[in-house]
Amino acid sequence: MSEFCADLYRYRELIWALALKELRVRYKRSVLGFLWALLNPLLMMIILTLVFGTIMRFSIDHYAIFLLSMLLPWTFFSQSLAYGVESVVGNAQLLKKVQVAKLVFPVAAVLANIINFLLSLLPLALLIVLLRFPLHWTWIYLPVPMLGLILFTLGTCFLFATANVFFRDVSHIVQIILSAWFYVSPIIYSLDFIPQKYRFYFRLNPMLYVLNGFRLSIYYGLLPSVQSVVMSLACGIGALVIGFGLFRHYQDSFVYYV
Amino acid sequence: MNGLALEFVDVVQRFRVIRERPDTLRELFSGLHRGSNRTTYHVFEAVKHVSFQIPHGATVGIIGRNGSGKSTILKIIAGVYKPSSGQVHVFGSIAPLIELGAGFHHELTGRENILINGLLLGLSKRQVRDLEQQIIDFAEIGEFIDAPVKQYSSGMYMRVAFAVATAVDPDILLVDEILAVGDAGFRAKCFERIASFHERGKTIILVSHDSSQIREFCDRVLLLHNGELIADSPPDEALARYDELIGQSQQQKVPAIPER
């Protein structure tokens, strides 16, 4: 783990440049450019608010905010993974020609999406004000669940990026895993909706702990318990230890398989 | 630092040559199903027990026919491949001029690519910024530097790539048959730059098929044949052996022409 941090620091400029490159390429040749990073989530949120505020009414107050408080971090996770899984294979040309620390590619993919995610919080705050929903002071606590989420995302990306080098099927499977994972995580619903006898199984999902802090501080205006914070960080660190460990173990043979 | 820039001790590089695309899960499962003794690849030794030492300041040519292991050796030196066995010691920083422009992204401008490529070669952001103007001047591409690389001609692309790679100022420069870059004027400039590396006491390793290039630059030549080092000598001797090898293979081919 200390090696991971050292590499992160050592290659910080390269990682930053690669992440910016990723974003530049994503928004290149569009008239509005970087504005899309704000506009896209805003438009999506407006649609969701209209659908759930007027057409399908749930018994949850301000369902749109309830949903978005977890949907945005989830979107960050799923997009990071979609990019991250291809990050090593996609840079095959580079890996085969120059010696480069391989970890920069998954990390840059996640970093690009962190920037996107942070930008999407602005339209969320705007929407909350427009809907006259309270903008809770607990927003200032968001960096804590964000840390857990980022660590968890990094770990997962390392894991899938490694697997994808050896089995290209992984990049297809990831989409399926993500959509299944989305529905078993309490994002569009609350854990309270699940019958007591099944709840145990839902609690085995690390995503539950990783995302929990976001809804608590954005929607409920509550600080999570110490136990919940510990769980979220534990899931993040655990994922990173496993994912990076695997990545590091196999990284020298990547060049023969990409 | 001792006088060595580079040392290979009994280096072997093996590759798995894949017969069919094995990189799917089905492959894994069918392998498990039929037992693991059914292989879909064979092992190919691209470099066989190669040992040599190169002192600082030397300019060494590597020659050999296609597939003799020249580029593999350069990639081992560059750290792209970890050898299957044997030891490689490199003393000093390396800049690979191997297949230029590998890190270029077509949608980004020349300037943006210079930054990323420079960082990939181990420079800091500040160092790249300091060298930027020098790189642009050397590449002679003027205001195209702020246009996306996909609009470049292949010559412009190569010139920028060469300019970045040589701006790094390494202790050891690896050159892999890239000197067919651009027009005659630019090529002369590239040679000049390589010569200036030599004058400043840098180590240069040059892979080439061009015997006049080898004669002009190198004080020593390694000749590879089927992954084995078969000569390590002054250029004239090694080039003579090389010509012999080519002659032999052409003689062998003659009877292969069917009789009428």
Statement: residue A46 has pLDDT above 80: yes
φ, ψ for residue B52, nearest 5 deg: -165, 165
What is the model's pLDDT at position B257?
52
What is the model's pLDDT at position A58?
72
Residue B28 with chain A: CB contacts under 8 Å: 167
CA distances from A88 to A45, A111, A178, A227, A239 (A): 32, 15, 20, 36, 19
User: In this structure, are residues A120 and A38 in contact, taking their beta carbons and an 8 Å threshold?
Assistant: yes
| B156-161: average pLDDT | 85
What is the model's pLDDT at position B1?
46
- For residues B77 and B19, state if they share a domain: yes
- For residues B78 and B110, state if they share a domain: no
φ, ψ for residue B238, nearest 5 deg: -65, -40
Q: Which residue of A has its CA nearest to B176?
A: A97
The answer to whether residue B260 is domain-embedded is no
| Distance to chain B for A98, nearest Cα, Å | 6
Point out the least confidently predicted range of B25-39, B49-63, B107-121, B206-220.
B25-39
Does the interface ipTM go beyond 0.85?
Answer: no
Q: Band of the pLDDT at A97, cuts 50, 70, 90?
A: confident
Residue A257 with chain B: CB contacts under 8 Å: 23
- CB–CB of A17 and B125 under 8 A? yes
Q: Band of the pLDDT at A98, cuts 50, 70, 90?
A: confident
Q: Band of the pLDDT at B37, cuts 50, 70, 90?
A: very low
- For residues B111 and B77, state if they share a domain: no
Q: Band of the pLDDT at B99, cuts 50, 70, 90?
A: low
The answer to whether residue B186 is domain-embedded is no
Statement: residue B21 has pLDDT above 60: no
Dihedral sign of CA atoms A210, A214, A219, A224 in order? positive
- CB–CB of B25 and A169 under 8 A? yes
| A229-252: average pLDDT | 95
Statement: residue B256 has pLDDT above 60: no
| A163-180: average pLDDT | 92
What is the model's pLDDT at position A248?
94
Domain finish residue from B137, B169, B201: B169
- For residues B79 and B153, state if they share a domain: no
- For residues B245 and B140, state if they share a domain: no
Residue A96 with chain B: CB contacts under 8 Å: 75, 80, 102
- CB–CB of A98 and B125 under 8 A? no
Statement: residue B134 has pLDDT above 80: yes
The answer to whether residue B72 is domain-embedded is yes
Which of A21, A255, A256 is opposite residue B105, by nearest beta carbon?
A21
Q: Band of the pLDDT at A153, cuts 50, 70, 90?
A: very high
Number of domains in chain B: 2
Rounded to whole angstroms, the Cα distance separating B96 from B91 reads: 15
Question: CB contact, 8 Å: A17 with chain B?
Answer: yes
The answer to whether residue B20 is domain-embedded is yes
Pick from A10, A86, A98 the residue to mutate for testing the B interface (most B CBs within 10 Å): A98
| B249-258: average pLDDT | 58
- For residues B63 and B5, state if they share a domain: yes
**What is the share, in percent, of chain A residues with pLDDT greater than 90?**
56
The answer to whether residue B24 is domain-embedded is yes
Which of A28, A168, A252 is opposite residue B23, by nearest beta carbon?
A168
User: In this structure, are residues B95 and B194 in contact, taking their beta carbons and an 8 Å threshold?
Assistant: no
What is the model's pLDDT at position A54?
75
Statement: residue B75 has pLDDT above 70: yes
What is the model's pLDDT at position A165?
94
| CATH number of the domain enclosing B230 | 3.40.50.300
Q: What does the buried/exposed string (b/e) look like for A64-98 if buried means 16 or more CB atoms within 10 Å of the residue's CB?
A: bbbbbbbbbbbbbbbbbbbbbbbbbbbbeebbbbb
φ, ψ for residue B161, nearest 5 deg: -60, -45
Residue A86 with chain B: CB contacts under 8 Å: none
Q: Mean pLDDT over all residues of chain B?
A: 83
User: In this structure, are residues A66 and A219 in contact, taking their beta carbons and an 8 Å threshold?
Assistant: yes
Upper half-sphere CA count for residue A198 (Cβ side, 13 Å):
8
CA distances from A69 to A100, A111, A130, A214, B38 (A): 38, 20, 16, 6, 52
- For residues B87 and B201, state if they share a domain: yes
Write down the pTM of the prediction.
0.86
- For residues B81 and B176, state if they share a domain: yes
- For residues B75 and B176, state if they share a domain: yes
The answer to whether residue B146 is domain-embedded is yes
Question: CB contact, 8 Å: A61 with chain B?
Answer: no
Residue A90 with chain B: CB contacts under 8 Å: none
Q: How many CB pairs under 8 A join A and B?
A: 68
User: In this structure, are residues A127 and A49 in contact, taking their beta carbons and an 8 Å threshold?
Assistant: yes
pLDDT digits (tens, 9 = 90+) for B180-201: 666 788 888 888 888 888 899 8
Residue B134: give the domain boundaries: 94-169
Structure-model confidence comparison of residues A2 and B204, the more confident one? B204
What is the model's pLDDT at position B212?
84
The answer to whether residue B188 is domain-embedded is no
| Distance to chain A for B108, nearest Cα, Å | 7
- CB–CB of A166 and B112 under 8 A? no
HEC-encoded secondary structure of chain B? CCCEEEEEEEEEEEEEEECCCCCCHHHHHHHHHHCCCCCCEEEEEEEEEEEEEEECCCEEEEEECCCCCHHHHHHHHHCCCCCCEEEEEECCCEEEECCCCCCCCCCCEHHHHHHHHHHHCCCCHHHHHHHHHHHHHHHCCHHHHHCEHHHCCHHHHHHHHHHHHHHCCCCEEEEECCCCCCCHHHHHHHHHHHHHHHHCCCEEEEECCCHHHHHHHCCEEEEEECCEEEEEECHHHHHHHHHHHHHHHHHHHHHHCCCC
- CB–CB of B112 and A24 under 8 A? yes
What is the model's pLDDT at position A246?
96
Rounded to whole angstroms, the Cα distance separating B234 from B256 reads: 35
- For residues B176 and B69, state if they share a domain: yes
Q: Longest C-alpha distance within chain A, in Å? A: 58
Give which of A169, A154, A220 is closest to A19, Cα–Cα.
A154
- CB–CB of B102 and A14 under 8 A? no
Statement: residue B34 has pLDDT above 60: no
Residue B98 with chain A: CB contacts under 8 Å: 97-98
Q: Mean pLDDT over all residues of chain A?
A: 90
| Distance to chain B for A178, nearest Cα, Å | 19
What is the model's pLDDT at position B156?
86
Question: CB contact, 8 Å: A21 with chain B?
Answer: yes
- For residues B5 and B80, state if they share a domain: yes
What is the model's pLDDT at position A156?
97
pLDDT digits (tens, 9 = 90+) for A108-122: 999 999 999 998 899
Q: Band of the pLDDT at A70, cuts 50, 70, 90?
A: very high
What is the model's pLDDT at position A13?
93
The answer to whether residue B230 is domain-embedded is yes
- CB–CB of B119 and A13 under 8 A? yes
- For residues B109 and B228, state if they share a domain: no
| A91-100: average pLDDT | 85
| B45-71: average pLDDT | 91
